[in-house]
Amino acid sequence: SAGGLLLQACAVIAGDDPAKMARLPDTEGMKNEIIIQRSHRFPYDQCYRAAGAKFVEIGDGKRCHEWQLEAAFSDKTAAVAYLFSPGLSKMALSLDKVTEIAHSKGVPVIVDAASMLPPRENLSKYHKLGADLVIHSGGKGIRGPQGTGILSGKKELIQAAYANAAPHQFLGRSAKVAKEEIVGLLTALNNFVNEDEQVENSKFRNKSQKVVDAFSETPGLDAAVKHDNVDYLTPVSSLFFNDEWDGPKAGDIVQRLEEGDTPIFIKNPFDPDELIFDPLNVDDEEVDVVIKKIRESMD
């Protein structure tokens, strides 16, 4: 999906104009500014800058106001970038408000939703909210080839992205995928959209509940299953270390798990005192291993 970010930037800056496309990443004299909320800055946005985009940051990283977005537009504005990622929902203007303001200025909105599947409704949700281009990872929740992604959106922008991409000899050629990867992605996508999401979530919930049950009586630990389709896209286990906890810090537990003889990677993305177990890539037998290793890392 990183290649999709590059193609988004190529499409909104150079369009399908061969003269502009051939100059990228030299964007001098072009509309090359991409407005982005400070809370949406993240390492992968370098893919936008690789196409010659210049960021105009708004907000303070914790919140953003409509007037700040309104004031950021100029005759150099090419697009507004929007990031969807767990944990950001309360730190930024909503997508529908951003698209409303941007479209009133005649400016497209490009969305990175690489990690937002499942739920499957997200394949179309962001377009319904006004997004002009959306990138989803072909790996992650779809579980297709890891080097693939799906770029969807307005016809003219998709055509522009394609013009900048392989097989054409422009900047986006570096983002091409192999033919067998395309077949793999289409197969995975077909399986994904036809899978029963309720059944899938039930399996995730059962695995997550097993972890919660294993630690529900542990002093100083609040264990719960969380699932809200926003910050917790599928049922996950939350282990929160409260004031009564007298063991190692959550970060130390994470490090011990990663460095153990059976490396286990558990997230603590939102709160330094919380661990999140995501069962997406864990089978039933492995849940028992995870529980055992977490318990050992707490000693």
Identify the three-state secondary structure at position 16.
Answer: coil
Hey, what are 2's tokens?
């990183």
Identify the three-state secondary structure at position 181.
Answer: helix
**pLDDT greater at residue 272 or residue 66:** 66
Confidence of residue 18 (pLDDT cuts 50, 70, 90): very high
Tell me how far CA of residue 36 lies from CA of 8, 44, 77, 82, in angstroms.
14, 13, 11, 7
Given a cut of 80, whether residue 60 has pLDDT beyond it is: yes
Confidence of residue 268 (pLDDT cuts 50, 70, 90): confident
Mean pLDDT of all residues in 83-109 = 94
Arithmetic mean of pLDDT over the chain: 96
Mean pLDDT of all residues in 141-160 = 97
Domain ranges across the chain = 2-194, 197-298
Which pTM was predicted? 0.92
Q: Are 33 and 59 in contact (CB under 8 A)?
A: no
* pLDDT at residue 144 in the model: 96
Topology of 197-298 in CATH?
Aspartate Aminotransferase, domain 1 (3.90.1150)
* pLDDT at residue 296 in the model: 95
Mean pLDDT of all residues in 268-275 = 84
Confidence of residue 267 (pLDDT cuts 50, 70, 90): confident
Given a cut of 90, whether residue 89 has pLDDT beyond it is: no
d(CA 292, CA 39): 36
d(CA 28, CA 40): 25
* pLDDT at residue 231 in the model: 87
Confidence of residue 86 (pLDDT cuts 50, 70, 90): confident
* pLDDT at residue 230 in the model: 86
Which tens digits make up the pLDDT trace of 167-192? 999 999 999 999 999 999 999 999 99
Given a cut of 80, whether residue 270 has pLDDT beyond it is: no
CATH assignment of 2-194, among 3.40.640.10, 1.20.1250.20, 3.40.30.10, 3.30.360.10: 3.40.640.10
* pLDDT at residue 279 in the model: 94
